Chain A
Amino acid sequence: MSKTKIILGCFDDPDDMMQGITNLQKNSIPIYDVYTPMPIHGIEAKMGVKDSRLGYAAFCFGCLGLTVITSIVYYTLVGDWPQNIGGKPSFAMPDFIPFMFEWTILFTAFGMTFTFFAATHLFPGRAPRVMDLRATDDRFIIAVDAKGNIPHDDITNLLKDAGAVEVKHNERKYVSYE
């Protein structure tokens, strides 16, 4: 039993990397993930990545922010101690709109940031999960889970055929942990 946990195909050209994905897909080899230093057009469709649901999270956080501020303002300025501002009724909608607008945005922005952190396991004090450090620089990385039933040499050859400059057999999934 090999101790290899993950196989990384390192490419120096995004077109070769796309060819690598095609090769693996033709042979029904599941791809764990792909890491690139820049966005690659059309890669989501090719990999069958589902649309991000971050937008739904944003909507929910926006609604939460709106509800929270409406409750606070209503309770403090209308319910608990009705305020007379400039002789206007205490429940005057235009007064409330800037708060409602700002808190909706505030909650949406922070909520989306925290959702993104949670989904990508980025927290303060935690090392980011990186499989190959050059994926943030000049290498396009295809990661294949080595625990499947496919012989490792086949995966290596398919990646080499597509033009991989290096194929790594890593025993650790993430190299960024000490």
Chain B
Amino acid sequence: MKTHNNFDERFEFAGNAKTLSLVGIVLGVIGIAFGFILGGDHIQRVYSNLLLMGYFFVCVCIAGIFFSAYNYVAQAGWSASLIRIPQAFAKVLPIASVILILIITAGLLHTHTVTEHGKTETVPYLYAHWAAHGITTPGSENFDAIIYGKKGFLNIPFFYAVLIVLLGIYSFLGIKMAKFSEAEDTEGGMANYDKIFKYACIFLTIFGFTFPIFAFGVIMSLEAHWFSTMFGWYNLAAMHVSGLAIITLVIIYLQKRGNFSWLNENHLHDMGKLIFGFSIFWTYVWFAQFFLTWYANMPEESVYFYKRWEPEYKWWFWLNIVINFVTPVLALMSRDAKRMRTRLTWVCIILIAGHWLDYYLMIMPGTVESNRGFGVEEIGIFAGFAGLFIFTVLTQIAKAPSLVPKKHPFLQESLHHHR
């Protein structure tokens, strides 16, 4: 057993990872340009994919803060030596937030004309169901009574206020926690740990109440006539599973590069358990949302699932369950499976694809509807954001003064972690 760990080691961000992440960003730009050059329905697809990946990017960064916050609040020892990875996600959140807000702004400002029910109207590419001109003005030819009833929530100033305030609070608390942890390295003592504990409590309280509002605003309002109170928790579960899968992949990658030699299959086992458990939780919430709608069978609610049962989406609708529920259940059920590095890597990759599909099914039927596609835009924009994420996160990990919180009070427990 190795007893000596070199905590002064640094991660150097160079080589293949850097090249490939830059190539990914270029592919993303090509994907966007491709869509705009083809024009027509492709522009709608580009905006929908940008929103999808922008949201995914923000959610994964938030998941990093969420992970480190609940580990600090639970006074978990096992994760102390890997906590710098989710903290790096937290430091990327401001960049992700700005990108998401830019995408939303572009989608709201860029308008096109559509002809629906023989009526031609000018609508923005994103949030057309509530942000179109005159939709909440009584007497306007676009007037929509249902949206008028929701105008307290669905109006542009409030929408931006929610986005900026929530993402600002999350970023602020996430970065503060990471900074305290870094200060702990040089200062020692319990003062910084106590501060992180306090900030983590504040974060979890605010986050628990506000994340559903964030999800209602950014994703659910794409189909503004429909609503589901389960939607916030459903998104929380999706965000958490994909965040955990990405944290695990980053751990495995950094270990391949020779860093984090103190992490072993016991730590991966715990990550595997969280992924397994929260995949089941995701399925539970997904089913609860579907089941209530299906049982009550009220037209204004059923229309959401009706759209997803059209031939266009039905196959994907079922594939979503197969990937995100059946795969982790079968592949990660046994103790040994969670400790196998290769198995865990593949499950993580499948789950990231699965939750991409999950978001795809939340967004596309409300925006591109039957002009759905899977091609250059989807793959390019995914590659673009994946590259951006890898580039920004690995830059933050390389910038961190140390890969391990050296003076963390539970560090020894993490180094001798045993399952």
A contacts, CB < 8 Å to B: 41-42, 86, 88, 94-95, 97-98
The answer on a CB contact under 8 Å between B294 and A94 is yes
Which residues in B have their C-beta under 8 angstroms from that of A88?
A: 297
How far is the CB of A79 from the nearest CB of chain B, in Å?
Answer: 22
Which residues in B have their C-beta under 8 angstroms from that of A86?
A: 295, 297
14 sample A-B contacts, Cβ–Cβ < 8 Å, listed by A number:
A41-B418, A42-B418, A86-B295, A86-B297, A88-B297, A94-B287, A94-B290, A94-B291, A94-B294, A94-B295, A95-B295, A97-B287, A97-B291, A98-B291
CA distance A97 to B321 in the complex (A): 15
How far is the CB of B254 from the nearest CB of chain A, in Å?
Answer: 26
Which residues in A have their C-beta under 8 angstroms from that of B418?
A: 41-42
How far is the CB of A112 from the nearest CB of chain B, in Å?
Answer: 16
CA distance A95 to B287 in the complex (A): 11
How far is the CB of A170 from the nearest CB of chain B, in Å?
Answer: 33
Interface residues on B, range: under 10
Q: Which chain B residue lies CB-closest to A86?
A: B297
Q: Which chain A residue lies CB-closest to B296?
A: A86
B255-297 with Cβ < 8 A to chain A: 287, 290-291, 294-295, 297
Which residues in A have their C-beta under 8 angstroms from that of B287?
A: 94, 97
| Given A86-B295, A88-B297, A94-B294, 11 new contacts (CB under 8 A) | A41-B418, A42-B418, A86-B297, A94-B287, A94-B290, A94-B291, A94-B295, A95-B295, A97-B287, A97-B291, A98-B291
Which residues in B have their C-beta under 8 angstroms from that of A42?
A: 418
CA distance A42 to B417 in the complex (A): 11
Q: Which chain A residue lies CB-closest to B418?
A: A41
Which residues in A have their C-beta under 8 angstroms from that of B295?
A: 86, 94-95
How far is the CB of B290 from the nearest CB of chain A, in Å?
Answer: 7
CA distance A98 to B295 in the complex (A): 12
CA distance A97 to B290 in the complex (A): 12
CA distance A98 to B288 in the complex (A): 9
How far is the CB of A172 from the nearest CB of chain B, in Å?
Answer: 36
Closest 9 pairs (CB-CB, A-B): A41-B418, A94-B291, A94-B294, A86-B297, A97-B287, A86-B295, A42-B418, A97-B291, A94-B295
Q: Which chain B residue lies CB-closest to A87?
A: B297
CA distance A95 to B297 in the complex (A): 13
B155-199 with Cβ < 8 A to chain A: none
CA distance A5 to B291 in the complex (A): 62
Which residues in B have their C-beta under 8 angstroms from that of A98?
A: 291
How far is the CB of A59 from the nearest CB of chain B, in Å?
Answer: 10
How far is the CB of A102 from the nearest CB of chain B, in Å?
Answer: 12
How far is the CB of A134 from the nearest CB of chain B, in Å?
Answer: 26
Which residues in B have their C-beta under 8 angstroms from that of A97?
A: 287, 291
How far is the CB of B242 from the nearest CB of chain A, in Å?
Answer: 24
How far is the CB of B42 from the nearest CB of chain A, in Å?
Answer: 37
CA distance A98 to B290 in the complex (A): 12
Which residues in B have their C-beta under 8 angstroms from that of A94?
A: 287, 290-291, 294-295
How far is the CB of B267 from the nearest CB of chain A, in Å?
Answer: 15
How far is the CB of A74 from the nearest CB of chain B, in Å?
Answer: 19
Which residues in B have their C-beta under 8 angstroms from that of A95?
A: 295
B286-335 with Cβ < 8 A to chain A: 287, 290-291, 294-295, 297
How far is the CB of A121 from the nearest CB of chain B, in Å?
Answer: 27
CA distance A72 to B291 in the complex (A): 21
How far is the CB of B407 from the nearest CB of chain A, in Å?
Answer: 24
